[in-house]
Chains A and B, each alone.
Chain A
Amino acid sequence: GAVVSQHPSWVICKSGTSVKIECRSLDFQATTMFWYRQFPKQSLMLMATSNEGSKATYEQGVEKDKFLINHASLTLSTLTVTSAHPEDSSFYICSARLAGAGQPQHFGDGTRLSIL
């Protein structure tokens, strides 16, 4: 149980393109999902918390207009990297958790984004 699916797993595109990444909770409903960015050989950096039916909460230093988050349903959150540039190339990972104290976060398999 508690499977999170992330799509696509790999994207290569030209500079200036907008890229959408989907995160789905397959067998549970998630009112809250999380988006992380991971640089090579580093830990995860929380970018934003995605809340179903309301605006996402962004971490300090993360550009809201650059990284658009939409959480339109209890099983789907999307991250759109707008007008992507080479410095946006990274590994993006989403997660979701079941409600309740002590519940772990369940992660998608990540999306490798490469901007040429």
Chain B
Amino acid sequence: GDSVTQMEGPVTLSEEAFLTINCTYTATGYPSLFWYVQYPGEGLQLLLKATKADDKGSNKGFEATYRKETTSFHLEKGSVQVSDSAVYFCALTIRPTGNQFYFGTGTSLTVIP
């Protein structure tokens, strides 16, 4: 079946450290991949997306590359800030309908000054 496996947290980093949150997937069709971020007490916000192999999604200094050969979509940021503290969810949907979304379990990130 279709699923997402996400690196377990929590992750604690010092400000300006490099961030990687691993995400791998299994898909029966052609997936589109997403990273969402959830700040405390809020809903999920789309952080970035990639819809086909080798696409790189980027936003606010975060990047993730859709790698079909390793079925991965790892989230990276070169220098994290305290304001990046949040929970990050990897997700996929299968084209063409795209209605069913599969979420990872979420990775909590805390950045300390």
Residues on A lying within 8 angstroms of B by beta carbon are: 4, 6, 32, 34, 41-44, 46, 49, 93, 95, 97, 100-110, 112
B:14-47 near A, CB below 8 Å: 32, 34, 36, 41-46
Main secondary structure, interface of B, reads strand
Pick the residue among A32, A95, A102 that contacts B49 (CB under 8 A): A102
A-B contact count (CB 8 A): 56
Given the contacts A101-B32, A104-B49, A109 and B99 also touching, CB distance less than 8 Å: no
Taking CB as reference atom, which chain A residue is nearest B39?
A: A109
B108 at the interface (CB under 8 A from A): yes
Task: Say yes or no: A102-B98 contact (C-beta < 8 A), given A43-B106, A112-B41.
Answer: yes
Query: Complex Cα distance A39/B54, Å?
Result: 34
The reply to whether A105 and B101 contact each other, CB–CB distance below 8 Å, is yes
Name B40-92 residues within 8 Å CB distance of A.
41-46, 49, 51, 89, 91
**Chain A nearest CB: distance from B65 CB in Å?**
16
Specify which chain A residues have a CB less than 8 angstroms from the CB of B41 in the assembled complex: 110, 112
Interchain residue pairs with CB less than 8 A apart (22): A4-B43, A6-B43, A41-B108, A42-B105, A42-B106, A43-B104, A43-B106, A44-B103, A46-B101, A93-B44, A101-B32, A101-B51, A102-B32, A102-B95, A104-B32, A104-B34, A104-B46, A105-B46, A106-B46, A108-B43, A110-B42, A110-B43
